[in-house]
Amino acid sequence: MLAGKKVTIKSDKRGESLSKTNWIVFDARGFTTEENAHVFGKQLRLIVEIASFCGHLGIDTGEDIATAWVNEKFIRASGGLKPNERIRPNFHGLAILPDDDNTYFFP
């Protein structure tokens, strides 16, 4: 728990165990506005960076940019997405997403 929000640490790939992942995701849900999510995300990033520094661990919290992208219309037309699903670019940093499990990331 952080600032009243449950923060889950998980692999960037659905279903992959933390012991096998190269990248981890901090997942927090239930924000009333996108701005509130941004403020929380920036605070979480700072906390993770300070903890990394204090623990002498290397960490890369990203620069909030897409690193790879694919056209969602193409993926949808090829049958790769259900009507309620969406695909987003592979993102390195803070990403604010709808509060559901219908977002997939381009590898």
Q: How far, in Å, CA of 7 to CA of 3, rounded?
A: 10
Q: Are 26 and 6 contacting, i.e. CB atoms less than 8 angstroms apart?
A: no
Q: Are 104 and 87 contacting, i.e. CB atoms less than 8 angstroms apart?
A: yes
Q: Supply the mean pLDDT for the chain.
A: 92
Give the predicted TM-score (pTM) of the model: 0.81
Q: How far, in Å, CA of 84 to CA of 81, rounded?
A: 8
Q: Is the pLDDT of residue 107 over 80?
A: no
Q: What is the pLDDT of residues 33-46, one digit of tens each?
A: 999 999 999 999 99
Question: Does residue 70 share a domain with residue 34?
Answer: no
Q: Is the pLDDT of residue 90 over 90?
A: no
Question: Does residue 50 share a domain with residue 102?
Answer: no
Task: Report how many domains make up the chain.
Answer: 2
Question: Does residue 94 share a domain with residue 44?
Answer: no
Nearest CA to 83 among 97, 72, 91?
Answer: 72
Q: How far, in Å, CA of 73 to CA of 69, rounded?
A: 12
Q: Which domain covers residue 75, as residue numbers? A: 62-107
Q: What is the pLDDT of residues 3-15, one digit of tens each?
A: 899 999 999 888 8
User: Which pLDDT score is estimated for 94?
Assistant: 95
